[in-house]
Structure 1
Amino acid sequence: METIKQAVNQLVGEGTTQPTRKLGKNGPAITAMGYGCMGLSAFYGKPKPDEERYAVLDHVYNSGELFWDSADMYMDSEDLLGRWFKRNPGAREKIFLATKFANYVDPNTGKRSVRNEPDYIRQQCDKSLQRLGTNYIDLYYCHRADKEQPIEITVKVMKELQDAGKVKYLGLSEVSADTLRRACKIAHIDAVQMEYSPFAMEVEQEGLLQACRELGVAIVAYSPLGRGFLTGSIRSPDDFEEGDFRTFAPRFSKENFHKNLELVDTLKAIADRKGCTSGQLTLAWLMESDPLVLPIPGTTRTKNFDENMGALKLNITKEEDAEIRKAIAGAEVHGTRYPEAFASALFVDTVPLDQYNGPHKNLV
């Protein structure tokens, strides 16, 4: 099996001391493991004061980690990054910055929906640019695809933004292999962001990894540590504070939590023998699986960040890969990764273009 050192592009970009990896076939070389900014602002309990969050971003930046991931739905995440860029002149140009559109929450009712309408995409892109305090986004994702609108229409509008210079590279998230193939006929998709970890292997099982290999599309692995579960540091659902998303996720329920510790403990035993943490083992294993894979673990603690970055120094042997995959195959994962209400937005197939009679059919 190819080692990380062989798979990672060693032509280190300006401003980073970290190894880099190419973003698919057409993208630039960016730091091989990204940083997920979501947890600084949303879904894992009450955010910390700004100065503490700035200190985390300072630490990440000074480490040479220059691939940062945000989204318009992560509460004040884009605003926080915009303020940090203002405090650090010149840093924006060195960061490969990703953000996303499509997840909408009605401010009056709190109802969630997926929005891919052309005018909405254009509006949200401009809003994100304003919040981030920048005139371009390096990687712009459709965070969730609307099943009722052909992906061709969504990507056509994203390509308009790219042609206008507002966006450099295009991404999708939680789409099926068929949706990705259709999208790439309109414009090259540089990255697909998917949950990918020993707890979430659908990327391999549903044909998406193979499609990405054929099309030269990077896989950006979100929640590569199973939302912290695979680090082994979370031992009970009672460890979460009020407002933490994991209290609503079936995989972390009181009914399922302790059943899922079996895989966590098996991976920890392998890591102990290797002399690393289970989190480092997991991240290194993901990167070893294919040169297209770029994990983006997130954390609010610099200690955890440094531990995650240690994965870049590990190599996974063929024997270790086989042992890890055997453990994954033998473990029954209890509980879905999202609540049932969110399931329809995962691995989405959109309506075929020739069956669509909506208001935007003339765009393609």
Structure 2
Amino acid sequence: MMRQRKLGSQGLEVSEQGLGCMGMTFAYGPADDQEALRTAHRALELGVNLLDTADFYGPHSNEEFVARVIAGRRDSITVSSKVGNEVTADGTITGRLNGRPDYIRTSLDATLRRLDTDRLDLYYLHRVDPAVPVEESTGALADLVTAGKVRHLGICEASAATIRRAHAVHPLTAVQTEYSLSTRDVEANGVLAAVRELGIGFVGYSPLGRGLLTGAIRSLDALAEHDFRRVVPRFQQGNLETNLHIVERLQALAAAKNITAGQLALAWVLAQGDDIVAIPGTKRVTYLEENLAACAVELSAADLAALDEIAPHGSTAGDRYPVGAMATLDG
């Protein structure tokens, strides 16, 4: 049975691995709707009870996909979605951030309609809008809690200082930021320390480094034509070769433990604290089952020390997003 973890100090408890649903309809090449549905349903069968989406994914289609997954079993599933990457009502991504209260209120109502539910368990500010004080955005989110439309609040990719400002307006349940052996920024920039001080849970997305840490991606030729990773610096020629040297060392350590490099990477994230939940994304049952098996992997102090030596903070070549997307990260 999947172990549960307390996500923050506001009463939310979820499976130690959730399911990042983005790639099922968005960003990672052609979608296979039926296989994605089988994967999501299999995740629920195996004890996953946290599904993560956003209005930006698709846009809109990912929330509609999640609605099909949760139909008939809504009360047993924690659903999280996000707002802040501006999307028009007709589904156009504008490329702007929008944290205005009126936009947040309107977006939440549309999200609830797409998810076919009357409340959201966890609602994140997806990106911090530099044109709007985070206190105003968080105040609008807090009003949605008061109205009974949202149970818990979160924020994504925010600096420690911004997290403190938002938390002072309304207690945050979760901070969601990229976290993996290839992206350890939150250890160095004070975010992990801040959330622990404040009693906020931490949700790590892309814990497999967008597939980099599995070793399956050896060149851009392995990626579909419209796969987002084709423009991610870490997968570009020169950077990828450097990063694969690290992956090869991870694979050797994993082989000695009779597990895959991906399972080793996921086990490492989960070993960083019981206040951390990982949300790997996949759209295939085979990879889902491989990911969930990482929950049973025990890492010794020697294993953790070896991983710190193989993949310390800053060892990955290339930024984790293209220039434009990097500019949307707070702080």
TM-score w.r.t. length of structure 2: 0.96
User: Who is 2:76 aligned against?
Assistant: 94
Amino acid at match of 1:226: G
User: Who is 2:325 aligned against?
Assistant: 342
CA shift, 1:34, in A, is: 0.6
Amino acid at match of 2:86: Y
SS state at 2:177 partner:
strand
Q: Given the alignment, which residue of 15, 18, 23 partners 1:39?
A: 23
Moved over 4 A (4+): 105-110
SS state at 1:329 partner:
coil
**Which range is displaced more, 333-342 or 100-109?**
100-109
Matches of 1:93 and 1:332, distance apart in 2: 42
Matches of 2:141 and 2:313, distance apart in 1: 41
- Give the unaligned 5+ runs of structure 2: none
Matches within 5 A, 1:162-311: 162-311=145-294
2:64 matched to 1:82? no
**Which range is displaced more, 100-109 or 207-216?**
100-109
SS state at 1:93 partner:
helix
CA shift, 1:47, in A, is: 1.4
**Which range is displaced more, 161-170 or 99-108?**
99-108
Amino acid at match of 1:28: L
Matches of 2:111 and 2:28, distance apart in 1: 22
Checking the alignment, whether the CA contact within 8 Å between 1:250 and 1:256 is kept in structure 2 is yes
| RMSD, aligned α-carbons | 1.5
Amino acid at match of 2:43: V
Matches of 1:224 and 1:83, distance apart in 2: 25
Matches of 2:320 and 2:152, distance apart in 1: 28
Matches of 1:342 and 1:302, distance apart in 2: 30
Checking the alignment, whether the CA contact within 8 Å between 1:34 and 1:65 is kept in structure 2 is yes
CA shift, 1:110, in A, is: 5.3
CA shift, 1:240, in A, is: 0.1
CA shift, 1:255, in A, is: 2.8
TM-score w.r.t. length of structure 1: 0.87
Amino acid at match of 1:333: T
Checking the alignment, whether the CA contact within 8 Å between 1:240 and 1:247 is kept in structure 2 is yes
SS state at 1:100 partner:
strand
Q: Given the alignment, which residue of 12, 17, 20 partners 1:28?
A: 12
- Give the unaligned 5+ runs of structure 1: 1-16, 350-364
Count of aligned positions = 328
Matches of 2:316 and 2:41, distance apart in 1: 37
SS state at 2:108 partner:
helix
Percent of aligned positions with the same letter in both sequences?
38
Checking the alignment, whether the CA contact within 8 Å between 1:72 and 1:101 is kept in structure 2 is yes
Checking the alignment, whether the CA contact within 8 Å between 2:4 and 2:14 is kept in structure 1 is yes
CA deviations 1:268-305 (Å, max 9, x no partner) are 11111111111111111111112211110010110100
Checking the alignment, whether the CA contact within 8 Å between 2:51 and 2:80 is kept in structure 1 is yes
Matches of 1:292 and 1:332, distance apart in 2: 25
Checking the alignment, whether the CA contact within 8 Å between 1:262 and 1:331 is kept in structure 2 is no
CA shift, 1:105, in A, is: 4.2
Amino acid at match of 1:228: G
Matches within 5 A, 1:43-82: 43-49=27-33, 51-75=34-58, 76-82=61-67
